[in-house]
Amino acid sequence: MNYTLLMYESTEDFAKRIDPIHKEAYVASWTHYVTAMIDSGIVISTAGLQSPETGTTLSRKGGELLVQDGPITETKEHIGGLAIIDVPDLDTALEWAARCPGSSVEVRPTLYPISK
């Protein structure tokens, strides 16, 4: 079964990506995690995302399309990346999510399974 892991990070976590003191440890923790998933053969797709302020949000209100720079709302955590994995069940997906170095991980079954 396919699950999507939505990996959330705090503002402080995003800052570590470019902080000269913390960047190496930050990158190493993610590299180790993603490599372990890839080596296990469960990864269908994975991607890290740039910081929230680089995004553009489109929304519809009253039939009008609105374009806004940055994230849709101010939050304490933002999606920092995602992975679509193929594992036997939710328990296995949760085991992989528990290993994630991010602040929190939302695990959802995919609506339409993806074939490798």
Q: Are 32 and 25 in contact (CB under 8 A)?
A: no
Q: What percent of the chain has pLDDT over 90?
A: 63
Q: What does the mean pLDDT of the chain come to?
A: 90
Domain limits, the chain: 2-109
Is domain 2-109 in CATH 2.40.110.10, yes or no?
Answer: no
Q: Are 46 and 81 in contact (CB under 8 A)?
A: yes
**Averaged pLDDT for residues 74-95:** 91
Q: Which residue has the higher pLDDT, 1 or 70?
A: 1
pLDDT of 86 higher than 70: yes
Strands of the sheet with 104-109, listed across from one edge: 43-48, 77-86, 2-10, 104-109
**Averaged pLDDT for residues 21-27:** 94
pLDDT of 116 higher than 70: no
